[in-house]
Amino acid sequence: MTPLLIAALCCVTWVFLLVARGGFWRAGERDGVVAETSPEPVSWPRVVAVVPARDEAEVVGESLGSLLHQDYRGDFVIVVVDDHSFDGTAAVARNAAAAAGASDRVIVLAAPRLPDEWTGKLWALHHGVRHTCSSTEQPDYMLFTDADIRHDVDTLTQLVLRAVRDRTVLTSLMAKLRCETLAERAMIPAFIFFFQMLYPFAWVNRADRRTAAAAGGCMLVHRQTLQAAGGIEAIRDELIDDCALARLLKRHGPIWLGLTERVRSLRTYRSLREIRRMITRSAYAQLGFSPWWLAFTTLAMAVTYLAPPALTLLGSGVSQFLGALAWAQMTLAFQPTLRLYRLAPWWGLALPAIADLYLIFTLESAWQHVRGTGGEWKGRVHWPVSRR
pLDDT score, position 109: 94
Query: 151-155 long-range contacts, Cβ below 8 Å, gap at least 24?
Result: 151/63, 151/66, 151/67, 151/70, 151/218, 151/262, 151/263, 152/66, 152/262, 152/263, 153/66, 153/69, 153/70, 153/71, 154/35, 154/70, 154/71, 154/262, 155/70, 155/218, 155/262, 155/263
More confident residue, 136 or 231: 231
Q: Which of 39-43, 59-63, 375-379 is the least confident region?
A: 375-379
| Average of per-residue pLDDT across 70-74 | 94
* Amino acid of residue 322: L
Between 382 and 228, the more confident residue is: 228
- Smallest Cα–Cα separation from 248: which of 378, 367, 144, 381? 144
CATH fold of 29-269 reads Spore Coat Polysaccharide Biosynthesis Protein SpsA; Chain A (3.90.550)
The reported pLDDT for the residue numbered 43 is 86
Average pLDDT over residues 101-127: 91
Q: Is the pLDDT of residue 388 over 60?
A: no
Residue 275 CA: distances (Å) to CA of 15, 42, 177, 184, 191: 30, 45, 12, 8, 10
CA distance 193 to 335: 10
Per the rule left: phi > 0, alpha: psi between -120 and 50, beta: everything else, 230 is left
pLDDT tens per residue, range 328-380: 999 999 999 999 999 999 999 999 999 999 999 999 999 988 888 776 666 66
Residue 148, number of CB atoms within 10 A of its CB = 21
Q: How confident is the model at residue 387 (pLDDT cuts 50, 70, 90)?
A: very low
**CA of 167: how far to CAs of 37, 112, 255, 308, in Å?**
15, 34, 9, 44
User: In whole numbers, what is the pLDDT of the chain averaged over residues?
Assistant: 92
Query: Which is more confidently placed, 70 or 40?
Result: 70
Residue ranges, comma separated, of all CATH 3.90.550.10 domains in the chain are 29-269
Q: Phi then psi for 141, rounded to 5 degrees? A: -135, 155
pLDDT higher than 90, residue 40: no
Q: What is the pLDDT of residue 196?
A: 97
Pairwise CA distance, residues 214 & 71, whole Å: 24
Please determine, for residue 258, whether its predicted confidence score (pLDDT) is greater than 50: yes
User: Cβ–Cβ contacts within 10 Å for residue 245, how many?
Assistant: 28
CB 101 within 8 A of CB 71: no
Pick the closest to residue 127 from 144, 142, 110 (CA basis).
110
